[in-house]
């Protein structure tokens, strides 16, 4: 494992937009929140650009990430937003010496592809909120937990249990993110959907049958039966279908044959309360029937 070092006062956070065009107001409002933590902020040259569906051309987006990774003063890279487009630069980014000076990568949604890249290099990263949420301020619990992680903290999280939860305790490497994005990387060097892991999943605007199709793909691939545990985050803005009234019931049925712990309704995903998740590191997951579930990071 190539663990990025904790941030200290004076370290620089680079803001990049490797996918969709950033909301400029969100970025401008997030900058002083980060600066108040004692960090310098560098908004990369194309981070506020707009080129149709993207913040810039693939070359422009690559240049921003390349320069952020290459700058020894930059200790963390905060993605301004998700969208689509990270996949355009995965091959070129994979050729960089990322392990020589590992940096924190922060974001979610399409940024799951960047997390997959970092995991392929053995580098932990943080699945967490981006500029739109950081602008709320340091008093927000999710922002406070993220800033603690960046400083080297390992906060634990508790959240209410769900009727479909399957109790148990599991230890293992935590990997995951946006399920549709990660499914698009199956069979590539950036495929992190594998067995013998603690997997967390979330998604937005995907019909139930499409998520079921991905889970069947993982079943046939031998992943779903061999997980150590499954964390089901938030699936939002989807349409019901004729077979299932909600996403959770489908996922319960898809995992009913397996004995590992499963926790539902974790606050991870495209929602206001989106806890930061430290990826590619050992965790202990405790799923209880006492009303609270706990995700505990190993130090």
* Over residues 22-36, mean pLDDT: 98
What's the CA gap between 97 and 80, in Å, rounded? 23
Q: Residue 41: exposed, middle, or buried by beta-carbon count in 10 A (0-12, 13-18, 19+)?
A: middle
Q: Residue 242 pLDDT more than 70?
A: yes
pLDDT tens per residue across span 8-22: 999 999 999 999 999
Dihedral of CA 118/174/145/100: which sign?
A: negative
Q: Residue 261 pLDDT more than 90?
A: yes
Q: What is the pLDDT of residue 291?
A: 86
List, in sequence order, the alpha helices (H) in 107-183: 112-120, 131-134, 141-150, 179-183
Q: Residue 240 pLDDT more than 90?
A: no
What's the CA gap between 257 and 260, in Å, rounded? 9
Q: Residue 271 pLDDT more than 70?
A: yes
Q: Residue 299 pLDDT more than 80?
A: no
Q: Residue 171 pLDDT more than 70?
A: yes
Q: How confident is the model at residue 144 (pLDDT cuts 50, 70, 90)?
A: very high
Q: Model-level pTM?
A: 0.97
Return the DSSP state at 198.
E
Dihedral of CA 160/162/163/169: which sign?
A: negative
Q: Residue 298 pLDDT more than 80?
A: no
Q: What is the pLDDT of residue 145?
A: 98
Q: What angle do CA 12, 135, 9 make, to 5 degrees?
A: 25
Q: Are 155 and 299 in contact (CB under 8 A)?
A: no
Return the DSSP state at 211.
H
Q: How confident is the model at residue 239 (pLDDT cuts 50, 70, 90)?
A: confident
């Amino acid at each position: 494992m190539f663990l990025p070092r904790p941030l200290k006062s004076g370290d620089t956070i680079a803001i990049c937009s490797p996918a969709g065009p950033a909301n400029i107001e969100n970025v401008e409002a997030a900058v002083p929140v980060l600066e108040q933590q004692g960090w310098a902020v560098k908004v990369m040259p194309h981070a506020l650009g707009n080129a149709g569906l993207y913040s810039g051309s693939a070359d422009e987006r690559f240049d921003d990430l390349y320069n952020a990774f290459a700058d020894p003063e930059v200790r963390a890279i905060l993605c301004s937003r998700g969208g689509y487009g990270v996949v355009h630069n995965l091959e070129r980014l994979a050729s960089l010496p990322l392990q020589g000076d590992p940096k924190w990568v922060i974001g979610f949604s399409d940024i799951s592809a960047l997390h997959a890249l970092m995991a392929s290099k053995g580098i932990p990263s943080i699945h967490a909120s981006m500029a739109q949420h950081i602008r709320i301020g340091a008093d927000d619990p999710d922002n406070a937990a993220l800033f603690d992680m960046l400083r080297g903290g390992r906060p634990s999280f508790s959240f209410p249990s769900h009727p479909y939860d399957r109790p148990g305790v599991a230890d293992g490497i935590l990997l995951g993110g946006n399920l549709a994005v990660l499914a698009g990387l199956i069979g590539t060097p950036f495929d992190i959907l594998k067995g013998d892991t603690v997997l967390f999943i979330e998604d937005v605007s995907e019909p139930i049958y499409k998520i079921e199709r991905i889970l069947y793909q993982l079943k046939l691939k031998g992943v779903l039966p061999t997980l150590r545990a499954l964390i089901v985050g938030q699936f939002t803005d989807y349409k019901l279908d004729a077979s299932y009234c909600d996403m959770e019931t489908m996922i319960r049925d898809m995992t009913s044959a397996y004995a590992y712990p499963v926790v539902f309704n974790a606050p991870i995903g495209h929602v206001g309360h989106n806890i930061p998740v430290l990826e590619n590191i050992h965790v202990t997951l405790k799923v209880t029937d006492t009303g609270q579930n706990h995700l505990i990071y190993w130090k």
